[in-house]
Amino acid sequence: NVSKKPQPNKNLLKAKHTFKDYSSLAPVLAPNETPSLSDSQAVGAVAAAQANFMRVIVQREPEDGMKTGLELLCVVRAVLKKIKRRVLVGDKVVVGSIDWVERRGVIENVFQRSSEIVDPPVANVDRLLVLFSMEQPPVEPFMLTRFLVEAESYRIPLTLALNKTELVDEESLFAWKNRLRSWGYEPVFCSVETKNGLDSLAFYLRDQTTVIVGPSGVGKSSLINVLRSDHRAPDSLEGDNFFDPVGFFPYSLILHFRFSFELRMLSVDYIY
């Protein structure tokens, strides 16, 4: 009888390949670590997730020296997926194998996160901005309470702002200011239309990654537009990027992301 040659264990081979890939993977980088980079590498931040691709805004382009706002379309290195090292919007990453002409690359490593929001999945958030409007739509106490409770649960610094102040009288503003102070908040009253109060709001958001949450129609996208067009933030990235997560917070949602290295803002629009 001719004995059959034993077949290799597929699971064992797979494990060996994964271990080989993992052993070649650089360790997770500390938040402020400065890795040694080649001309085909750069450090950047994930601005959007689209299907299997990530849009990354990198901090430099070798030919031009330091340069902010260059967008690359990237895939995630296979070994990161194998070891379940997930890459989120907001992550600081190392991009390699960069084609500077085609603006494509591969996410090779991820820096440690300072914070993480599970739903929507966003990393390295410094501040939550809860944005409501005084009118159109009017602020509704019960809904505002739900937003504030949800936002507070993440234990991330929070700012409360009320937009469209030009649509109400001083008496209404005074009443809401006192009411919110009794809740323990110092609200920022502002108007995207007249730009009143935007300097105060920009002060809270400067040099931070901010997630803006609020009902539809309160002016989240308009606020971002005004802050950027008034040069409170440089136009590092033109146009819009969209990230569509699955989940509820507490409603189904669409994230609308615009990124710059001076003013990093992410807005959440609630769809009923």
Please report the pLDDT score of residue 2 as a whole number. 57
* Beta-bridge partners for 156: none
Which runs of consecutive H residues, i.e. helices, occur in 87-130? none
Name which of 150, 147, 80, 120 is nearest 243 in CA terms: 120
Name which of 124, 126, 113, 106 is nearest 54 in CA terms: 106
Please report the pLDDT score of residue 247 as a whole number. 26
Parallel, antiparallel, or unpaired: how do β-strands 209-215 and 127-133 relate? Answer: parallel
Parallel, antiparallel, or unpaired: how do β-strands 104-110 and 188-189 relate? Answer: unpaired
Residue 227's φ and ψ, nearest 5 degrees, are -60, -35
Please report the pLDDT score of residue 151 as a whole number. 86
Please report the pLDDT score of residue 211 as a whole number. 81
Structure tokens at 193: 């239309």
Name which of 34, 45, 33 is nearest 260 in CA terms: 45
Residues 145 and 125 sit within 8 Å (Cβ to Cβ): no
The identity of residue 192, as a single letter, is: V
DSSP string, 93-129: EEEEEEETTTTEEEEEEEBPPS-EETTTTEES--EEE
Please report the pLDDT score of residue 246 as a whole number. 26
Residues 59 and 42 sit within 8 Å (Cβ to Cβ): yes
All domains in the chain, ordered by first residue: 37-110 (2.40.50.140), 116-270 (3.40.50.300)
Distance CA(264)–CA(47), nearest Å, equals 10
Residues in the chain: 272
Distance CA(183)–CA(220), nearest Å, equals 23
pTM of the prediction? 0.65
Spatial neighbors of 164 by CB under 8 A, at least 6 apart, are 133, 134, 135, 136, 191, 192, 193, 218, 219
pLDDT along the chain (272 residues), means of 10: 59 51 64 86 86 82 56 88 80 92 93 82 85 94 91 89 95 96 95 91 80 86 76 36 28 33 44 30
Please report the pLDDT score of residue 57 as a whole number. 87
Spatial neighbors of 259 by CB under 8 A, at least 6 apart, are 45, 47, 57, 236, 237, 241, 265
